Amino acid sequence: MQTLVGIPFLLLCLAAVAQEFPQEEPQTSRTPTPAQVAERLEQVKRDLLPKCWSSKIGENEQEKKKYLAKWQAVTSAHYILFTNGPTASCKKYASTLEELYTYVQKEIPFEDVNHLLLCYIFATPEEYYRFCGVAAGWSEDQARATAGHATSAYYACYYESPRAPVVFHEATHQVIGACHKITGVGSWFQEGIAVYFEKKTSGEKPSGTIKNDFKRGEYYPLTEFFAIQSLLSDPKGNGHRNYDQAGALIDFMINTKLPPVAGKFPEFLNAARKGRGFARSGKASEELVKLVYGLTAQELEALWKEHVGAK
């Protein structure tokens, strides 16, 4: 499986559990003036960065000034990035995010939101880890298990390759939450759709090894799979496999030609968007499948197996 700076990829995806932050900040218009961008940058410097910098910086006025001077705002058609990373490379982050945005919008259409999507790119891992404690309320261990995370409110990472798989994965979480306005359904859905677009944008097959997994019996029946609160935190240790299988399930739901699933993924998204009551539970997911497809979880699973030739 893919890795980023030696950390297994499955440990990079604690995305959907973060609390939205900062909820109270004003959103940036889709067409901000240079003055408005500068004002937002100053707000980040004033309100956020003092909570994230090291004690060494916080105790020295000269260090504070040097640190804050490195921060800049990079804007693109749909994003505003606040960063102290390398200017040229961080502009490439904006290009990567725009590429992902366009890809998702083309495959599962949505209307542009009326504000820029917020991103933070920190120059070092330590800065990012401290941000995680402030923004998501994570422990240091939880933060160190990630290289990036996202909610509907923001995307954050530390500087690495702008085209690392984690960038596409986590940016998908932000688009699904902010643009499709779907924050529930279940871990299988949230992580599955992120894995799907992560693999599609890198040229991999989202179906992965699911056909062989089915044949070997190395999978959870959908009634169990839907009920897993966090795929990554599966007590049986199948987090890696769960992510791949969730991506394969989304691939089936989007691309199968088998009725009654074929062509109904937009309807599934719409139902999930309207049904804010479809919380993250197995029962809620089963009810959503029944509502959209008229199928039980077992019937959907049987069609999935038929779709990949593992029946």
pTM for this one? 0.89
- Token digits of residue 216: 């070997």
Asked if the model's pLDDT at residue 292 lies above 60, the reply is yes
- Shortest CA distance to 166 belongs to which of 134, 128, 130? 128
d(CA 308, CA 311): 8
- Token digits of residue 99: 């590429």
- CB count, 10 Å around CB of 264? 18
Tokens 């020295």 label which residue? 60
Burial, 24: exposed, middle or buried (Cβ in 10 Å; 0-12, 13-18, 19+)?
exposed
Q: Is the alpha carbon torsion for 43, 49, 51, 55 positive or negative?
A: negative
Q: Where are the domains of the chain?
A: 3-178, 187-308
pLDDT in tens, 202-260: 899 999 899 999 999 999 999 999 999 999 888 888 988 999 999 999 999 999 999 99
Beta strands at 117-122 and 79-83: parallel, antiparallel or unpaired:
parallel
Terminal alpha carbon distance of the chain: 26
Predicted confidence at residue 246, as pLDDT, reads 98
Averaged pLDDT of the chain = 89
Predicted confidence at residue 186, as pLDDT, reads 92
Predicted confidence at residue 279, as pLDDT, reads 59
pLDDT in tens, 49-87: 999 999 999 999 999 999 999 999 999 999 999 999 988
pLDDT in tens, 22-49: 444 568 898 999 999 999 999 999 999 9
- CB count, 10 Å around CB of 56? 9
Burial, 20: exposed, middle or buried (Cβ in 10 Å; 0-12, 13-18, 19+)?
middle
SS3 category, 42: helix
At the top level of CATH, the class of 3-178 is: alpha beta
- Token digits of residue 33: 């003036």
- Token digits of residue 311: 């029946």
| Residues near 246 by beta carbon (within 8 Å), at least 6 away in sequence | 187, 188, 189, 191, 192, 195, 225, 231
SS3 category, 52: coil
